[in-house]
Amino acid sequence: QVQVVESGGGLVQPGGSLRLSCAASGTISKITAMAWYRQGPGKQRELVARISASGVVTYADSVKGRFTIYRDNAKNTVYLQMNSLIAEDTAVYYCNLDIFVGFGTRSTDWGQGTQVTVSS
């Protein structure tokens, strides 16, 4: 079983920055993709950023130019650097990994997430 633990959230003022971390543990053969999602109050969970095994990154339009996703493969960790935060970024942030399991890929179960609150 592979588990993920998110950390780094907190309360920040508009215009501030945070860096989220997601550490994976367990038996991992190959991570094919890493992604960050978020779910704001009364909203559906949405994809924020994704990085593929080859290093191709994608971002939601709402965070382009402000957020950066990057990874440390040796540590099985993915990060989300968030700059110029706005109130609309307030949400619980989750990470998710796609893992090769021999017959194909599967996604990790959702963790507890980490709360990001942007408020003055």
Whether 2 has a pLDDT exceeding 90, the answer reads no
Structure tokens of 42? Answer: 């009364």
What are the tens digits of pLDDT across the range 25-60? Answer: 987 778 889 999 999 999 999 999 999 999 999 999
What are the tens digits of pLDDT across the range 96-106? Answer: 999 988 888 89
- Cross-strand bridge partners of residue 22: 6, 78
DSSP one-letter string for 80-120:
EEE-S--GGG-EEEEEEEEEE-SSSEEEPPP---EEEEE--
Integer-rounded Cα radius of gyration of the chain: 14
What are the tens digits of pLDDT across the range 76-87? Answer: 999 999 999 999
- As a whole number, mean pLDDT of residues 65-71 equals 97
